[in-house]
């Protein structure tokens, strides 16, 4: 009989809670939720939400920053899931660029960058001093043929968003506002980051989960 404890798998939610306290950058649209139906009045509960395509945990499509880039609904489902490696990125250089070894990265991987920055998600400091992917790391991710790069921060890099554009030109998706990466730092896992299928979208909110043994 198989050892149930040894073969037990578990799932970890990597998704930022989406509510009216979700972080929003500068003049970005803030999340608003309203109740427009209740059981008492209509017989059912129903709410409506107003948000940006880049609210909470989300995926950026190439079309977000590349005029003729591919839109999110044009990617097949398998682009959003698969083998993933979580890289410890809690060290940065003087430019606040992530300093990490990508030696464990394989072609076709989802690469998750664990910076620890998500701990500041409800602080104004979340949008200040965030670790970023430098040009060399962005080029190396392209060279290694990854299909997605994700980070536990609001962005992988700041204006003029050069790393974004390098990745997007190679149709590498970008997942931002992930959480709980510290729980799986350094591990190889199976991961799914599934965005809403919105027509012609430059990005979309997503549910991110991983499976580990």
Residue 145's domain is classified under what CATH number?
Answer: 3.50.30.50
15, pLDDT greater than 90? yes
Average pLDDT value for the chain: 94
What pLDDT sits at residue 9? 87
Q: Residue 90 belongs to what domain range? A: 4-18+54-212
What pLDDT sits at residue 86? 98
Q: Is residue 40 part of a domain?
A: no
Structure tokens at 78: 């398998």
What pLDDT sits at residue 94? 79
What pLDDT sits at residue 171? 98
CA dihedral 155, 160, 164, 170 (to 10 degrees): 180
Q: Is residue 29 part of a domain?
A: no
Q: Is residue 11 part of a domain?
A: yes
What pLDDT sits at residue 121? 93
4, pLDDT greater than 50? no
Q: Is residue 193 part of a domain?
A: yes
Averaged pLDDT, 106-126:
95
What pLDDT sits at residue 6? 59
Averaged pLDDT, 190-205:
98
Give the pLDDT confidence of 151-188 residue by residue, as tens digits.
Answer: 999 999 999 999 999 999 999 999 999 999 999 999 99
What pLDDT sits at residue 2? 46
Q: Is residue 179 part of a domain?
A: yes
What pLDDT sits at residue 54? 96
Q: Is residue 48 part of a domain?
A: no
Question: What whole-number percentage of the chain has pLDDT above 90?
Answer: 87
Enclosing H/E stretch for 81: strand 81-88
CA separation (Å) from 135 to 95, 173, 190? 12, 16, 27
Confidence of residue 3 (pLDDT cuts 50, 70, 90): low
Give the pLDDT confidence of 64-108 residue by residue, as tens digits.
Answer: 999 999 999 999 999 999 999 999 999 888 789 998 999 999 999
Confidence of residue 124 (pLDDT cuts 50, 70, 90): confident
Closest by CA to 148, choosing from 165, 167, 130, is: 167
Look at the chain and report how many structural domains it folds into.
Answer: 1
5, pLDDT greater than 70? no
Residues 170, 99 contacting (CB under 8 angstroms)? no
CA separation (Å) from 1 to 7, 8, 9, 211, 213? 11, 14, 17, 23, 18
Closest by CA to 175, choosing from 92, 82, 106, is: 82
Closest by CA to 150, choosing from 115, 113, 187, 186, is: 113
Stronger pLDDT, 3 or 32, i.e. the higher one: 32
Q: Is residue 162 part of a domain?
A: yes
Look up residue 159 and give its DSSP letter: T
Q: Is residue 32 part of a domain?
A: no
Stronger pLDDT, 91 or 55, i.e. the higher one: 55
């Amino acid at each position: 009989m198989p050892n149930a404890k040894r073969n037990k798998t578990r799932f970890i939610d990597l998704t930022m809670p989406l509510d009216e306290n979700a972080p929003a950058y500068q003049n970005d649209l803030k999340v608003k939720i309203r109740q427009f139906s209740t059981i008492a009045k209509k017989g059912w509960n129903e709410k409506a939400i107003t948000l940006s395509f880049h609210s909470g945990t989300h995926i950026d499509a190439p079309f977000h920053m590349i005029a003729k880039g591919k839109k999110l609904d044009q990617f097949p489902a398998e682009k959003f899931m698969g083998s993933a490696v979580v890289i410890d990125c809690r060290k940065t250089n003087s430019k606040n660029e992530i300093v990490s070894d990508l030696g464990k990265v394989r072609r076709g991987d989802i690469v998750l960058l664990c910076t620890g920055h998500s701990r500041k998600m409800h602080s104004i400091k979340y949008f200040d001093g965030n670790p970023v992917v430098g040009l060399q790391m962005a080029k190396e991710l392209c060279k290694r043929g990854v299909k997605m790069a994700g980070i536990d921060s609001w962005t992988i890099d700041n204006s003029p968003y050069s790393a974004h554009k390098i990745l997007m030109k190679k149709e590498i998706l970008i997942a931002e506002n992930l959480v709980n990466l510290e729980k799986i730092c350094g591990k190889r896992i199976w991961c799914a980051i599934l965005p809403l299928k919105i027509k012609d979208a430059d990005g979309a909110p997503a549910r991110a989960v991983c499976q580990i043994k």
